[in-house]
Amino acid sequence: MASDLSKLDPEMAGRDADDGIAWYNVQDWGVEGKGWEETEAYYDRLPAKAKGVVRDPVWNLSRHSAGICFHFETDATEISARWVLRSSNLAMPHMPATGVSGLDLYTRGDDGRWHWVGVGRPESGPKVQAKLASGLKPGYRAYRVYLPLYNGVTSVEVGVDPKARFQPVPPRTERPIVFYGTSIVHGGCASRPGMCHPAILGRRLDRPVLNLGFSGNGKGDPELAKLIAQIPNPRLLVLDYEPNCVSTELLRETLPQFIRIYREAHPLVPILVVSRIPFSHDLVHQDVLQARKERGEFQRQTVQVFRSRGDANIFFYDGSTLLGDDFDECTVDGIHPTDLGFLRIANGLEPVLRGILGAPIPGAPRSARSS
């Protein structure tokens, strides 16, 4: 996104006379995780032109800031933030306020990896101010902050001591990985924004990620396929929307169409189709288990048909293996992952994505690749 770093001279940062903090408006230098610049509100995930084109529930969910993050560098020993939420509903019965409406702070360590530092805990809304971290050891570091998963924001500022060095870091220009899916891709029910698997994989692969998960509404809509196909210069598309298909027939209708629409715009961009993770219902409901097997097999066959027609850049992964044999211990409600569940999804998908992207596996010989 476009940014104007001239606005960010420390002498020009806003000062709050009551708390002595220098506040920097994130919108002045830009966020990462947006596929379009022409959005109705700055922190929206879909473009303004999608309004009235996609279904209303999809549009409303696109106002959530899932997957959007920003970067900066500072030597401050305390980092604060203030943000304005779209909704005063801070939490859900099965997902904490830190994940629904909080901010999540990471720093890049000397090992080159991103490490968690602190989370902004909203106690009331819609206006929130919180310390993300305090008592930090001295040093100038790079930071990343993830925005709320299941709430939207209209304003975000980061605050440090006025005497601290502060350098905004504009969003990266590397080609992004695009995730399309359901509430699970959306981030339900991570305890904090950085713990959903698209965010984890973005950190591990050190690549921008676009989170286009729409809770309860990842149904493979052709209108959305056409919009996603307009995202410029993607590196990889991950399709993971089986859980919201109310019938096998809906999946049969939408998946080949979605792929064809995307292929018209991006003939060579890799596509990874992921079948759903196991639900606890699979253990006790034979019809649910059978439907999962049927839908998984249909997705596998669909990918094979495209490959047989010469599309070597489309892949299938059996998501039923992602959570392990004790998958019933990995969700909050039998469906939505806990942080453990999301970590296992990321662990399972990481070597697959690295293989598709041609990225080396950490600790493996240079010639090693995972398929």
Report the share of the chain in percent with pLDDT over 90.
88
Domains and CATH numbers, the chain: 5-169 (2.60.120.260), 177-357 (3.40.50.1110)
% the chain with pLDDT above 70: 92
User: Which of 24, 46, 49, 48 minimizes the C-alpha distance to 33?
Assistant: 46
Is pLDDT above 90 for 212?
A: yes
Q: How far apart are CA 371 and CA 360, in angstroms?
A: 11
pLDDT in tens, 164-186: 999 999 999 999 999 999 999 99
Whether the link from the prior residue into 126 is cis, omega within 30° of 0, is: yes
Instruction: Give residue-wise pLDDT tens across range 64-123.
Output: 999 999 999 999 999 999 999 999 999 999 999 999 999 999 999 999 999 999 999 999
Q: What would the two tokens of residue 360 be?
A: 């080396």
The span from the CA of 27 to the CA of 30, in Å, is 5
Question: How high is the mean pLDDT of the chain?
Answer: 93
pLDDT at 284: 84
C-alpha 131/C-alpha 19 separation (Å) is 12
pLDDT of res. 258: 98
Judge whether residue 159 has pLDDT over 80: yes
Peptide bond into 189 cis (omega under 30): yes
Q: pLDDT band for position 15 (50/70/90)?
A: low
Mean predicted confidence (pLDDT) in 20-38: 97
CA-to-CA distance for 207 and 177, rounded, in angstroms?
7
Q: What distance in Å separates the CA atoms of residue 341 and residue 352, rounded to the nearest whole number?
A: 17
Query: Span 286-303, mean pLDDT?
Result: 94
Sheet with 79-85: strands ordered across: 14-16, 21-25, 153-160, 79-85, 127-133
User: For 217-240, how does the pLDDT look when each residue is reduced to its tens digit (9 = 90+)?
Assistant: 999 999 999 999 999 999 999 999
| pTM to 2 decimal places | 0.93
Q: Tell me the three-class secondary structure of 261-287, residue by residue.
A: HHHHHCCCCCEEEECCCCCCHHHHCHH
